[in-house]
């Protein structure tokens, strides 16, 4: 408990996106397919928790149905993956897991794979991941598929898909 508290205090003063040497939760990283080889990197991404607000209308008349608050159709993990993917354009998101959270922020550690690295291209399990561009942005990661309502299969699954009418 004390260790987690110390970590969060240190992480708060760090930048939003930080490349780290090795995963904090090695068991979770290995379950996602992490291997300590060249071309595989781990990034800690910070996401702000809580409700989201739409930008103010600068000109024109506000529609009567307009609301300032925005209901997110994405989970924090998907947002974290997208931001990490944007920070490392040459990499594809392999997967992610939650590293910690406090009242204001949630931290996720994202495993990224360099799409053009020879060590990655020589390792068969990473080939399919390396071939896909924009995995996180298209919602093809585990967190993205969950938010899109693709966890359920079979009869009744049509009720959850598509998970939102407007994205």
Residues of the chain with pLDDT below 70 are 162-167
Res 164: pLDDT: 58
Length of the chain in terms of residues written: 167
Contact 34, 41 (CB under 8 A): no
Q: What range does the domain containing 132 cover?
A: 2-55+63-159
- Is residue 74 one of the residues assigned to a domain? yes
pTM beyond 0.85, yes or no: yes
**CATH code of the domain in which 81 resides:** 3.40.1120.10
Helix residue ranges per DSSP H, the chain: 2-12, 26-32, 76-87, 118-121, 124-131, 142-147
pLDDT at position 165 is 57
What number of helices (H) and strands (E) belong to the chain? 6, 6
The answer to whether residue 149 is domain-embedded is yes
Residue 44 within any structural domain of the chain:
yes
């Amino acid at each position: 408990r004390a260790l987690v508290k110390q970590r969060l205090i240190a992480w708060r003063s760090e930048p939003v996106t930080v490349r780290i040497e090795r995963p904090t939760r090695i068991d979770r990283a290995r379950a996602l397919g992490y291997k300590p080889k060249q071309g595989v990197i781990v990034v800690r991404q910070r996401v702000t928790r809580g409700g989201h607000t739409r930008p103010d209308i600068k000109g024109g008349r506000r529609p009567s149905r307009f609301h300032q608050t925005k209901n997110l159709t994405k989970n924090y993990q998907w947002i974290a993956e997208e931001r990490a993917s944007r920070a490392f354009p040459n990499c594809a998101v392999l997967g992610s897991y939650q590293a910690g959270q406090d009242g204001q922020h949630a931290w996720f550690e994202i495993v990224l794979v360099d799409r053009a690295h020879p060590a990655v291209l020589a390792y068969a399990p990473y080939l399919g991941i390396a071939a896909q561009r924009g995995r996180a942005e298209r919602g093809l990661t585990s967190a993205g598929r969950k938010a899109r309502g693709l966890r359920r299969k079979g009869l009744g699954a049509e009720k959850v898909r598509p998970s939102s009418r407007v994205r």
